[in-house]
Amino acid sequence: MYPKSAPLLRTAAALCLLATAHPLVAAAAAPAGAAFAAVPLPDLATLKSALTLSEQQAAQISPLLDAQAKADAAFATTQSQADAARAEANTKIAALLNDTQKPQFAPIAAGARGGRGGGRGNAAPMTDADKAEIARLADFPAWKAGSGDGNFSIGPDYAPAPEQTPRDGVPKGRVESFTLNAADSKFYPDTGKRGASATRKVTVYIPGQYVAGQPAPVIVSCDAYGANRNQLPTILDNMIADKRLPAMIAVMIANGGGDGPGSERGLEYDTVSGKYAEFVEAEILPKVEQDYGVKITKDPDGRMTLGGSSGGSAAFNMAWFHPELYHRALIYSGTFVNQQAGPDTPHGAWNVHETMIPNSPVKPLRLWLHVSQNDNSSTAPSSGFHNWVIANIRMADVLKAKGYHYELVYAKNAGHTDGKVIAQTYPQALEWVWQGYKPVTK
C-alpha cells in the first residue's frame, strides 16, 4: 500500500507546509500595519518532493521560484506586482509539468496566490468579534415573495424554481451569439499576458414580445451568467409572458480569460473602477443593436447588471461608477474583498463597503445581494480583507445605513455562487430588482 499512497502523502505534506511559515515568508515581510503577507510557493525541495520533478524540470523551475521570492520581498512596495509575478510563475511552471503533475500542482498554486478564498488572509484565526458578526446571519428572517428591503435567509434545503422549466404556449425569445476578437478591443486588447483569451463569446436574448424600433430594457451579465443551458432566457420567457418582468433583452458576456490576481478576468472584474462598464457601452451594446436590429434603452432605470463572485463586484462597479447607465444590480457571492488593490483602493473591493459607500452621496441604485454560509474564506479573519461572508454583511450594513433599496439573502448550507441557490432564487431576485420600473418609450 505504501508505494501507491506515497504521491498523495507527498502532496499532503506540501499542502501542510503551505499552511505554515516558509523561509521565503520571512524574506517577504509585510509593511508596517499590513493585515497579511502574501503566501508564496514552497521552496524547490518541497515541490520536488510533492511533484516528483525531473532534474530538468527542477532546473527550469528554480529561477522562476527565485523571481517569485524577489517579488514577495517587494511586497511592501506593491502587492499587485507580487500577485502578477506569482500568477506568471504559476502559469509557466504549469506549462512545464506533465498531465499527472498538473493536478497535483493546482492546489499548491491556488494556495500560493491566495485567489478564490485560498491562502490570503487565512493565517490568523478569526476574532470573537468576527465570529459574532457572522453569527447574527443565522437570525435573519426567511426570504419570501414580497419581502421588502433588508436582510433575509434561505435554506438549508433547496429546490429549483419552476420558472426555469420551458413551458408550452409561452412566446419564445430568440438566442443569438457572436464572438469578439480581443485584439480589436481598445479597452482590453489581448497582449499575450494575464492569461487573456484571444476571443470572447457574447450571447444575446431577444424576447418574442420585442417591438422593432422600441427601446427595450436590458440585463448585462458578467461571466455570461444565465447563458448556460439557456437558464436566463427560459426564465425571461416565462416571467415576461406572465407579466412579472418587462420584455427585456439580455446580453451575456464571457470574461476575458483566467482568474484571480494578475489575470485578465481579474483586471476586468476586480479592478474597482468604471472601465468595464465603459467597455460594454462602447464595444458590446452597439454591436448588439447593429447586428440584431434592436434598440436598447438609454434610461438607467431600465438597465440591470448581473454577476457572481468577481463578476458580481464588476456588476456593482458598473452601476456605482456609472449610475447614468445602470440603476439595478443582482449579485451572487460578490467579491467585495481585496482581490486587486489600486492607488485609491488599497484594500481592493473591500474599500467599497469600508470607505466608498459610507463616504459618498446616495446613488439611485437598487441592489440584490447574496452570500452563502460556506462562501469563500468564511473562516478567515476580517483583518485579512478576504472573507466573503463578512464583506457581504458589511455591504448590507452600509447600504442600510445610507438608506439604499437593497436585499441581502444569506444561504444556509451552501457555498460560493452555489448552483442550487441560484436555481432557487433567480426568478424571485429578478422580480425584486425590477420592482418599480416604468418604461420610457421615447
The residue among 239, 253, 244 whose CA lies nearest residue 197 is: 253
Strand-pairing partners, residue 215, are: 295
Of 294 and 19, the one with more pLDDT? 294
- Per-residue pLDDT, averaged over 232-259, amounts to 96
What stretches of 88-128 adopt beta strand conformation (E)?
none
pLDDT surpasses 50 at 121: no
User: In which band, very low, low, confident or very high, does the pLDDT at 93 lie, cut at 50, 70 and 90?
Assistant: confident
CB under 8 Å to 60, separation ≥6 — which residues? Answer: 96
Rg, Å, the chain Cα set? 23
pTM: 0.75
Contacts of residue 241, Cβ cutoff 8 Å, sequence gap at least 6: 167, 170, 171
The predicted pLDDT at position 91 comes to 67
pLDDT surpasses 90 at 54: no
Q: Residue type for 241, please?
A: A
Is the pLDDT score of 53 beyond 80?
A: no
Average pLDDT over residues 290-318: 98
179-225 pLDDT, tens digit each: 999 989 999 987 666 778 899 999 999 999 999 999 999 999 999 99
C-alpha cell at 277: 462598464
Digit-coded pLDDT (tens) for 366-382: 999 999 999 999 999 99
Q: Which residue has the cell 483602493?
A: 345
Could you tell me the maximum CA-CA distance found in the chain, to the nearest angstrom? Answer: 75
Domains of the chain: 2-113 (no CATH), 132-433 (3.40.50.1820)
Residue 6 has pLDDT above 70, yes or no: no
Nearest-angstrom CA–CA distance, 172 and 156 = 34
- What pLDDT, on a 0 to 100 scale, did the predictor assign at position 23? 30
Q: 166-176: per-residue pLDDT in tens?
A: 999 999 999 99
The chain-wide mean pLDDT, for the chain, equals 84
Q: What is the DSSP string of 130-183?
A: HHHHHHGGGGSPBP-TT--SEEEEE-SS----GGGS--TTSPPPEEEEEEEEGG
pLDDT, one tens digit per residue, over 256-292 is 998 888 889 999 999 999 999 999 999 999 999 999 9
Mean pLDDT of 30-49: 48
Question: What are 314-327's pLDDT values in tens digits?
Answer: 999 999 999 999 99
**Residues contacting 362, CB < 8 A, separation 6+:** 402, 403, 404
On the question of pLDDT at 111 being above 60, the answer is: no
Least confident of 39-53, 246-260, 298-312, 314-328: 39-53
- The pLDDT assigned to 106 comes to 56
